[in-house]
Amino acid sequence: MARTGRRPGATQTREKILEAARAQFSEKGYDGATIRGIAREAGVDPALVHHFFGAKDQVFIAAMRLPYDPGEVLRRIIADTRHDRAEAIVRFFLDVWEDPRTRAPMLALVRSAATQEQAATTVRGFMKDILFHHVAGELGIPALRAALVASQLFGMVLVRYVIQVEPLASAAPDEVIALYAPALRAVIEE
């Protein structure tokens, strides 16, 4: 296996691709952007983009500096055999948001999606991709129900972390999980 990560210039190439990706996502939205277009803008071969990052959702996650990817989320949720899926989803979600380092880039994305039409278009395409391919496909949750799970999680972000409404803002994660997991379960289960 080629040691591409250590090749001189690999870091710069990676950064150039991410810069091109941010420009393409911002200009064309998530749906409109392509690996081919990002590669062209970065002046590299499309195979190199794929080699560095994988599929489009992975390029987006790296470009937006999001702290985790949906594949990783799914692996953790499916691996969590101590809790049911609804509880594992809320637990994972709170874990990520309780950490200020991972909270910052996601907060920036939610804020821009709430106010800028272009950012909303980008997030919309990304969420649709994630909901249909990962949540609906791999977890077997119908897409509309998956979107209602997303509603509940984004609402938690807005009320607990952005607007910081009490008593939710200061409630202990375990208490929030215990109260909110049944709500997700009600949407997930038919």
Q: What residue ranges bind a second copy (CB under 8 A)?
A: 110-111, 113-115, 120, 123-124, 127-128, 131, 143-145, 147-148, 150-160, 162-168, 171, 175-176, 179-180, 182-187
- Using the minimum distance from each CB to a second copy, give the nearer residue, 9 or 166: 166
- Using the structure block, give the residue that is written with the tokens 């909110």: 180
Task: Tell me how far, at minimum, the Cβ of 101 lies from a second copy, in Å.
Answer: 20
Task: Tell me how far, at minimum, the Cβ of 71 lies from a second copy, in Å.
Answer: 20
- Using the structure block, give the residue that is written with the tokens 């950012």: 119
- Using the minimum distance from each CB to a second copy, give the nearer residue, 1 or 172: 172
Task: Tell me how far, at minimum, the Cβ of 159 lies from a second copy, in Å.
Answer: 4
HSE of 27, CA atoms in CB hemisphere, 13 A:
11
Measured from the Cβ of residue 114, the count of other Cβ atoms closer than 10 Å reads 13
- Using the minimum distance from each CB to a second copy, give the nearer residue, 39 or 141: 141
- Using the structure block, give the residue that is written with the tokens 């990002």: 38
Task: Tell me how far, at minimum, the Cβ of 154 lies from a second copy, in Å.
Answer: 5
Nearest alpha-carbon partner for 36 in 9, 14, 56, 58: 56
- Using the minimum distance from each CB to a second copy, give the nearer residue, 10 or 120: 120
Measured from the Cβ of residue 160, the count of other Cβ atoms closer than 10 Å reads 20
Q: What is the DSSP string of 62-109?
A: HHTT-S--HHHHHHHHHH-TTS-HHHHHHHHHHHHHHSHHHHHHHHHH
Task: Tell me how far, at minimum, the Cβ of 11 lies from a second copy, in Å.
Answer: 33
Give yes or no for a contact between 89 and 77, defined as CB atoms under 8 angstroms apart: yes
- Using the minimum distance from each CB to a second copy, give the nearer residue, 39 or 94: 94
